Copies of this chain bind each other. A is one copy, B any other.
């Protein structure tokens, strides 16, 4: 947009490249952009024995702890929207339930600011994450700022996500690339639909459906549909 904007982006960008983990990176972004808080939240890891969210934030401990122990993630309208939407949004735009208003009040009491901007991230294997900035900047200034920085923030979000995936899984990402059609077929198979029904629903021939399910099965390294469905659900390629 202009030189100032380019500068903050460039320094944040460099910082991410230097950062060894997401925790460092978000602090660098916070400093570069001069916002109150920065958060990166991966929707889900491929967990074994227990639920384990991947969250890195500059919010104060008291708020993080409170958020976790109150199960606020179920109520938080930013998270709700962020893991459904495709495009970035300002927090002011989201619709608030009563519970969300309570949460917002609580958040203010714990040192969070009113305005925010969140970038939903969806990677090639369908994993979702949310990259959020929180600021006490006045409405107009903030809106002007994010509209100018939208592309940069998207870029930063994706970088952050790559860093996070590396931090969680290391070199080798366990999720194979399943094509959208393959995913759809798999999802419908997981809902108990038969080949013929899936074909009708997706407006394909039964043969094609078979071919998709076969290739999905092979990519998942499975010998039959039940196994493939199980693995797809475990890897959260499909959500049911």
Residues of chain A touching chain B, judged by Cβ–Cβ distance below 8 Å, are 23, 41, 43-45, 47-57, 61-62, 64-66, 68-69, 71, 73-74, 79-80, 83-84, 128, 189-192, 194, 222-234, 238-240
Closest residue of chain B to A56 (Cβ to Cβ) is: B69
CB distance from A185 to the nearest CB of B (A): 11
CB distance from A126 to the nearest CB of B (A): 12
Which of B53, B232, B240 is within 8 Å of A68, CB to CB? B53
Task: Check if A51 sits within 8 Å of B56, measured CB to CB.
Answer: no
Contacts of A64 in B (CB 8 A): 61, 64-65, 68-69
Contacts of A224 in B (CB 8 A): 192, 194
Task: Check if A44 sits within 8 Å of B43, measured CB to CB.
Answer: no
Task: Check if B48 sits within 8 Å of A239, measured CB to CB.
Answer: yes
Closest residue of chain B to A70 (Cβ to Cβ) is: B23
Contacts of A80 in B (CB 8 A): 49
CB distance from A129 to the nearest CB of B (A): 10
How far apart are the CA atoms of A128 and B50 in the complex, in Å? 9
Which of B52, B57, B192 is within 8 Å of A227, CB to CB? B192
Which of B51, B66, B222 is within 8 Å of A43, CB to CB? B51
Task: Check if B43 sits within 8 Å of A50, measured CB to CB.
Answer: yes
Which of B41, B44, B56, B234 is within 8 Å of A240, CB to CB? B234
Task: Check if A71 sits within 8 Å of B43, measured CB to CB.
Answer: no
Task: Check if B51 sits within 8 Å of A52, measured CB to CB.
Answer: yes
Closest residue of chain B to A191 (Cβ to Cβ) is: B227
How far apart are the CA atoms of A189 and B229 in the complex, in Å? 11
